[in-house]
Structure 1
Amino acid sequence: MQKYADYIEQIEIESLWSGIRHIVWNLDPKVNILSGVNGVGKSTILNKVVKGLMQGGEFPSHLLKGVHIKVVPEDAKWIRYDVIRSIDRPLMSGDSMKKIVDVTVATELDWQLYMLQRKYLDYQVNIGNRIISVLQGGSTDAAIKAQELSRPKLLFQNLIDELFAETGKRLIRTKNEIAFTQIGEELLPYQLSSGEKQMLVILLTVLIEDNLPYVLFMDEPEISLHIDWQQKLIDMILQLNPNVQIVLTTHSPAVIMGGWIDKVTEVSDITL
């Protein structure tokens, strides 16, 4: 049976930047923010860690591509993780991609949203089956347990509606797929602004992990986000899944506002 880690305790990278530097980074179980000026290597470190994880989240006990990861519990050999990058570039194969799907998928964020839509449907089926099982169990607190199972999805919907309220957009809660209404018109996620798509991608990614322990890697997630959204980002992620470990790079002071300054690590502090 695969044993999954709760979180990453330490990241060690050998021979970074052509063997000039060695990285040892001791991580907080919840929030880790890597900071530094442009070109100092924040994204390089993050990318190196992600590449050190094998398909499906398996990682070896030895150094793989110069990366060694210590986890809790220490005998776990797998880790659940997601990676979010914020640059919304046009798809290189946009024309062929449009032939595959029945919606306009033109950018990388559009493609992420399309894939997340499918996972969101699976998530709802799984939650629905669990609710039915609880209610059929006949326990005296069945209704309370069923309500608790529904809570993350409701929280996700409420967070999105709150964030998008200024532009008059609201989730259509009667639909199984993600769709919005704005002044009586129905909108697909692909019709949102880049910042709205980015926030939707982040919160959907967190939701469908279904409260399981996992690591969320984010490379400069603030790029497309309004400053108010940047300030709320970490809190919202932890609300949706208290079991997540966040590992992100950022240039934005707004992201660390609200009590996260002690979770900031400068690249120079972990470079040997």
Structure 2
Amino acid sequence: MKYSEYIKQIEIDSLWSGRRHIVWNLDRKVNILSGINGVGKSTILNKVIRGLSAGGEFPSHMLKGVRLTVEPEDARWIRYDVIRSFDRPLLNLDAVGKLNTALTDLTTELDLQIFFLQRKYLDYQVNIGNRIIASLQSGEADAALQAQQISAPKTTFQNLIDDLFSQTGKKIVRTENEIRFSQIGETLTPYQLSSGEKQMLVILLTVLVEDQQPYVLFMDEPEVSLHIDWQQRLIDLILTLNPNVQIILTTHSPAVIMNGWADCVTEVSDITD
């Protein structure tokens, strides 16, 4: 399977009912789609996402009238993740209960995302642990340095979360395999966080477990639950955790672009024929 490093162009024959031809040439790093309500920002993202298989295969799974140009051009797979903004109540709590009878804390969609990310986080730790052991057993002169570099993204993630949550006194418990927080002597689960804290945790944990591979992160208005300071830092935080990610997001918030990302904004009208 040959994976693409990023998407170069999105083309959509018709956004709605045979109208609005979309051609969007993308930046390697950051792409921000803007426009008034109802103009089609989320529709563009959703058409692309629906056209990708669960494993990221294309073009055989692409919807009719949706085409992607990628780098390298002969790649036929994309690593990608999707972040959405709304912390809605879970509609089918019985189905959640079947996952584990102890999961009484799962009441919203963000809670469910965190639950599955916890599983990926455990797998990620096993993976980097095995790589660290292999590095230390290699006998190479710089084996200790290599081991430190392998574990650096996880440490960076923990430091970023501690910094973001510092005003409420929350810190990640670093001796736990799953995500837990300490606050004034009390241990908290991620499901006890505020909506904004959960949203930021979901975003950064999603980025971390991709293990710095090239991949595409689709985000539909990720700023909704975030404080304005976190909105301003969002893109920089993501790129700090994984410099190889390509960000494609929609937003209504000027704060998201305040840290030097104004040149990465595209209006829907600018890519519409």
| Number of the residue aligned with 2:163 | 162
- Does residue 26 of the first structure (1) align with residue 25 of the second (2)? yes
Secondary structure in 1 aligned to 2:17?
helix
| Number of the residue aligned with 2:270 | 269
Q: Which moved more, 1:208-217 or 1:97-106?
A: 97-106
Tell me the CA shift for residue 268 of structure 1.
Answer: 0.2
Tell me the CA shift for residue 63 of structure 1.
Answer: 6.1
Structure 1 runs not aligned, ≥5 long: none
| Number of the residue aligned with 2:94 | 95
1:189-200 alignment runs, 5 A limit: 189-200=190-201
1:22-61 alignment runs, 5 A limit: 22-60=21-59
Secondary structure in 1 aligned to 2:149?
helix
* Cα-to-partner distance string for 1:14-60 (whole Å, 9 max, x where unaligned): 12111111000000000000001111110011101101112210011
- Does residue 134 of the first structure (1) align with residue 152 of the second (2)? no
- Given the two structures, how large is their TM-score scaled by the length of structure 1? 0.98
- Given the two structures, how large is their TM-score scaled by the length of structure 2? 0.97
| Number of the residue aligned with 1:245 | 246
Paired letter, 2:21: H
Secondary structure in 2 aligned to 1:95?
helix
**Equivalent pair of 1:215/1:246 in contact (CA under 8 Å):** yes
Of all paired residues, the percent bearing the same amino acid is 74
Alpha-carbon distance change, 143 to 75 in structure 1, aligned in 2, over 3 angstroms: same
Alpha-carbon separation, structure 2, partners of 1:195 and 1:58: 32
Alpha-carbon distance change, 95 to 62 in structure 1, aligned in 2, over 3 angstroms: closer
Alpha-carbon separation, structure 1, partners of 2:51 and 2:65: 8
Structure 2 runs not aligned, ≥5 long: none
| Number of the residue aligned with 1:12 | 11
Q: Which moved more, 1:52-61 or 1:169-178?
A: 52-61
Alpha-carbon separation, structure 2, partners of 1:190 and 1:65: 40
Secondary structure in 1 aligned to 2:165?
helix
Alpha-carbon separation, structure 2, partners of 1:55 and 1:139: 39
**Equivalent pair of 1:127/1:150 in contact (CA under 8 Å):** yes
Paired letter, 1:244: V
Tell me the CA shift for residue 62 of structure 1.
Answer: 9.1
Tell me the CA shift for residue 130 of structure 1.
Answer: 0.1
Paired letter, 2:54: Q
- Does residue 219 of the first structure (1) align with residue 212 of the second (2)? no
* Cα-to-partner distance string for 1:128-158 (whole Å, 9 max, x where unaligned): 0000000000111001000000100000000
Tell me the CA shift for residue 61 of structure 1.
Answer: 6.6
Q: What RMSD over aligned residues (CA atoms) do the two structures have, in Å? A: 1.1
**Equivalent pair of 1:9/1:29 in contact (CA under 8 Å):** yes
1:100-115 alignment runs, 5 A limit: 100-101=99-100, 102-103=102-103, 104-115=105-116
Alpha-carbon separation, structure 1, partners of 2:162 and 2:232: 17
| Number of the residue aligned with 2:124 | 123
- Does residue 230 of the first structure (1) align with residue 231 of the second (2)? yes
* Cα-to-partner distance string for 1:158-196 (whole Å, 9 max, x where unaligned): 000000000110000000000001111110000000000
